[in-house]
Structure 1
Amino acid sequence: MATKITADQIRHIYHHFKANQVHPGKWPAENPVELMLGAILVQNTTWTNVQKTLNNLRPVTGFDAEKILALSTEELQELIRPSGFFKNKSKAIQSSLQWFQDQNWDFDAIATRYGHHLRNELLKLHGVGQETADVYLVFIFHQVHFVADAYARRLFGYLTGTEFKTYQDLRKVVEIPDDFTAQDAEDLHGYIDDFGKLHKKPEDFDQSIFGGFDL
Structure 2
Amino acid sequence: MHDINPISLYHKLFDEMGPQHWWPADTKMEIVIGAILVQNTNWNNVDLALQNLRTVTGLDPKQILNLSVARLQQLIRPSGFYVNKTKSLLSVLGWFNDHHYDFSGMVHQYGPKLRHQLLSLTGIGEETADSLLVYVFDQPAFIADKYARNLFQFLGCRHIETYAKLRKRVRLPVDFDYHDAQEFHGLIDEFGKLCKTKEQFRKSFLNGFLLQQGLKSEIKK
Q: TM-score, normalised by structure 1?
A: 0.95
Residue 28 (1) aligns with residue 27 (2)? no
Show CA shifts across 1:143-179 (max 9, x none).
0100001110100111124253211011111101111
Distance across 2 between alignment mates of 1:45 and 1:3: 33
Aligned pairs for 1:95-106 (under 5 A) are 95-106=91-102
Q: In structure 1, which of residues 178, 181, 194 is the aligned counterpart of residue 190 of structure 2? A: 194
**Stretch deviating more after TM superposition (154-163 or 26-35):** 154-163
Residue type matched to 2:146 in 1? A
Q: Aligned residues: percent identity? A: 48
Match of 2:87 in 1: 91
Aligned pairs for 1:26-175 (under 5 A) are 26-162=22-158, 164-175=160-171
Mark the runs of 5 or more structure 1 residues left unpaired by the alignment.
none
Show CA shifts across 1:25-60 (max 9, x none).
411111112111111111111111111111111111
Residue type matched to 2:4 in 1? I
Residue 16 (1) aligns with residue 12 (2)? yes
Distance across 2 between alignment mates of 1:132 and 1:32: 14
Residue 4 (1) aligns with residue 3 (2)? yes
Q: Is the 8 A contact 1:111 1:141 kept in 2?
A: yes
Q: Helix, strand or coil: the match of 1:204?
A: helix
Q: Helix, strand or coil: the match of 1:160?
A: coil
Distance across 1 between alignment mates of 2:102 and 2:177: 21
Mark the runs of 5 or more structure 2 residues left unpaired by the alignment.
212-221
Q: Is the 8 A contact 1:25 1:193 kept in 2?
A: no
Show CA shifts across 1:54-101 (max 9, x none).
111111111101110000000000011111111100010011101010
Distance across 1 between alignment mates of 2:134 and 2:173: 15
Residue type matched to 1:169 in 2? K
Aligned residues between the structures: 211
**Stretch deviating more after TM superposition (87-96 or 15-24):** 15-24
Match of 2:216 in 1: none
Misfit runs of 4+, over 3 Å: none
Show CA shifts across 1:178-213 (max 9, x none).
111110011100100111111100011111111111
